[in-house]
Every structure is written in C-alpha cells, then in structure tokens.
C-alpha cells in the first residue's frame, strides 16, 4: 500500500489584523493631523492694534463728530452769511477807518472788534443749531443710542464750532502781512539770519491771538450749553446772547457793589480777563479762568444730555 502523505495546512497570514490595528490607530492619527483652529484675529485698532490707546480715549469719535459739524457749518446758510459780514465789518472798522483817518491801525483794534462780535452775532448764530437742531430733527436720540458717549458728542460739537471760528478768522493774517510790509522796518536775526520786516510787536500779537482763542473757546462752550437746553434755535440764540452779556460785562457791576460782592463780580467778569491778554500779559489766573469756564460749560451740557435718559 502506498503511504498517503498528509500535509499540514499552512497557517493563514493574519491579514485582517492590520485593519484592526489601523482601526485602533486611526482616531489617534486623525486627531494628530487635525490642525487646531487658529485664534481669531482681533480687529485693527480695537484690540492690540497700533491705535488702541488712542481709540480707547474716545478721541476718534470726537474728531469724527467735529469734522461732521465743521462740514455742516461750511455748507449751512448761516456760515455763508456770518463770514462775509464779519470780514466786512472788521476790515472797515478795524483797519480802513484808522488808515483813512490818518491814525495808526493796530491788531489790538482788530482783536477788540472781534471780541465784541463774538457776543453778537458769531457765537449765538453758530452754536444755536449744534444740539437744538439735532433735537428738533429727532437725530439726537439716534446719536445718543449709538456707541457715542454723551461727552464725546458735546466735545465734538464744540470742537467743530471752534475749528469753524479759526477758519473764519484766518483772514486776520492778511492784516499781519500788511503791517509787516508797511510799518517802519526793523531788522531781526532769527537763527542768526538777518530779516528786515515791519516793526511789529510779535509778543503782543501772540498774546492777542491766544486771548482771542481762549475767549472764543469759552463762549462757544456756553453756546453749546444753551443749545442743549432747548430744541428751538431762536431760543438757543437768545439764551446764548444773554449768557455772554452777563459773563463778559458783569465785572463792570462790581463798581456798584460793596465788598466782598465786588470781588466776586470782578473775578467772574470776562472783559477784564481778556483785557490782560490784549495788553500782552499772559497770566496763569486768566488762563485758568477761561479753561474752567470752558470745561464747566461742557460738563453741564453733558449732564443735560444725560438727564434726557431719565425722562
């Protein structure tokens, strides 16, 4: 008989073990290859940007409101009516009359006339619409409910009006140029370079401009305060005119009062404070007076707007 050879079956290769290993490792590998979501970049200027400190102060909104107010004044009929009238009045009474009368024209005459015109008509007609018009048109509530704080709105309106005042009276530089041309000549040596120009007191000129700027800043702040009290522009103009008359001329009432009331009215009167600037004296107490008057009026205007939230 033939011997029957029995061959043992070859062991099967564990081919299916690899998928099990892959199945075990797949979650780990997939987790390892999945990129983590990138952190969301913060907007430029709001978080970590270059302008973050500047934006947090609210000055960007203040300048935006000031630019809007300045543009509105330039295109408004009031701006186009006031500016030519003021230029003609100041040019005729402040410069031409002294020259035609064989008198010496000075910048002090110009500054004094401008200070008087600030009371009427410049400041009342310029500021009567800044907040009263917003209230009448119903846009004030829209502004107050937007991400604009009350003080940013008030300061922006005041700053735009002040910029309009500066643009309006830039024509006075023409008088400075005329004085430098026609006054008796004097030689100055700035930085060692000889320069022959009209003999003009530059210290007095600078003091006059600073005093006029301080007076305008305080008066415009009072105008913004009066405009915040009503939605009628005419009422706001008359309130501003009355307030400016009291502030500017109340110092003259001191001569009719007994101490210590006369000292109080002398301190409150703005005419005496401005007179020191026009005389070339820049005193700290006068600068503090105009600064406190400006800040106080803007502070009260802000409180008036905040009080509307409780009505």
Q: Which residue has the higher pLDDT, 185 or 121?
A: 121
CA distances 269 to 53, 273, 307, Å, are 39, 7, 29
202-228 and 270-278 helices cross at what angle (nearest 10)? 150
301 vs 272, higher pLDDT? 301
Please choose, from the candidates 167, 159, 166, 169, the residue with its C-alpha nearest in 3D space to the C-alpha of residue 68. 159
Question: How is residue 155 written in tokens?
Answer: 């300061």
What is the pLDDT averaged over residues 68-72? 92
Could you read off the pLDDT of 72-89 as tens digits, one per residue? 988 888 888 899 999 999
| Confidence (pLDDT) at 265 | 83
Higher pLDDT, 245 or 99: 245
pLDDT over threshold 50, residue 306 = yes
Find out whether 125 and 237 touch, Cβ atoms under 8 Å. Answer: yes
End-to-end CA distance of the chain: 121
- Pick 249 or 30 by higher pLDDT: 249
Rounded Cα distance, 224 and 242, in Å: 14
pLDDT at 19: 46
Query: What is d(CA 95, CA 8) in angstroms, rounded to the nearest whole number?
Result: 129
- What per-residue string of b and e applies to 209-224 under the rule 16 or more CB within 10 Å gives b? bebbbbbbbbbbbbbb
Reading the block at residue 63, the tokens are 């300048």
Of all residues in the chain, what percent carry a pLDDT higher than 90? 38
What is the pLDDT of the chain when averaged over all its residues?
81
Query: Exposure string (b/e) for 169-198, b if CB count within 10 Å is 16 or more?
Result: beebeebbeebeeeeeeeeeeeeeeeeeee
Q: Please, which pLDDT band fits residue 207 given cuts at 50, 70 and 90?
A: very high
User: What global pTM score does this model have?
Assistant: 0.80
Q: Does residue 23 register a pLDDT over 70?
A: no
pLDDT tens, residue by residue, 265-298: 888 889 889 988 988 888 899 999 999 999 999 9
Residue partners of 114: CB distance under 8 A and separation at least 6: 86, 90, 94, 169, 172, 212
| pLDDT tens by residue, 118-174 | 998 899 999 998 988 777 777 776 776 678 888 999 999 999 999 999 999 999 999
What mean pLDDT do residues 180-207 have? 81
Give the pLDDT score at 98.
84
* Collapsed DSSP state (helix, strand, coil) of residue 187: strand
Q: What SS3 state is found at 127?
A: helix
What does the block give as tokens for 110? 């110009």
What confidence score (pLDDT) does residue 50 get?
Answer: 56
């Amino acid at each position: 008989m033939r011997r029957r050879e029995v061959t043992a079956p070859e062991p099967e290769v564990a081919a299916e073990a690899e998928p099990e290993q892959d199945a075990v490792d797949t979650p780990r590998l997939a987790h390892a290859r999945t990129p983590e979501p990138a952190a969301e970049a913060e907007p430029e200027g709001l978080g970590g940007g270059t302008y973050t400190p500047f934006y947090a102060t609210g000055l960007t909104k203040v300048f935006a409101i000031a630019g809007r107010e300045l543009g509105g004044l330039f295109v408004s009929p009031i701006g186009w009516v006031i500016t030519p009238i003021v230029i003609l009045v100041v040019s005729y009474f402040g410069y031409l009359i002294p020259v035609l009368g064989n008198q010496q024209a000075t910048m002090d005459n110009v500054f004094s006339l401008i200070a008087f015109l600030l009371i009427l008509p410049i400041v009342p007609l310029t500021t009567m619409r800044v907040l009263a018009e917003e209230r009448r048109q119903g846009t004030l509530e829209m502004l107050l409910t937007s991400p604009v704080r009350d003080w940013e709105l008030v300061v922006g309106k005041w700053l735009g009006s002040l910029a309009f005042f500066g643009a309006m009276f830039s024509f006075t530089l023409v008088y400075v140029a005329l004085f430098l041309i026609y006054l008796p000549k004097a030689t100055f040596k700035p930085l060692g370079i000889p320069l022959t120009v009209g003999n003009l007191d530059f210290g007095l000129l600078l003091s006059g401009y600073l005093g006029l700027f301080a007076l305008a800043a305080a008066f415009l702040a009072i105008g913004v305060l009066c405009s915040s009290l009503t939605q009628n522009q005419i009422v706001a103009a008359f309130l501003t005119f009355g307030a400016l008359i009291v502030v500017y001329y109340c110092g003259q009432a001191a001569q009719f009062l007994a101490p210590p009331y006369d000292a109080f009215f002398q301190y409150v009167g703005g005419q005496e404070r401005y007179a020191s600037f026009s005389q070339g004296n820049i005193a700290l107490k006068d600068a503090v007076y105009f600064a406190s008057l400006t800040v106080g009026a803007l502070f009260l205007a802000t409180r008036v707007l905040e009080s509307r939230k409780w009505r």
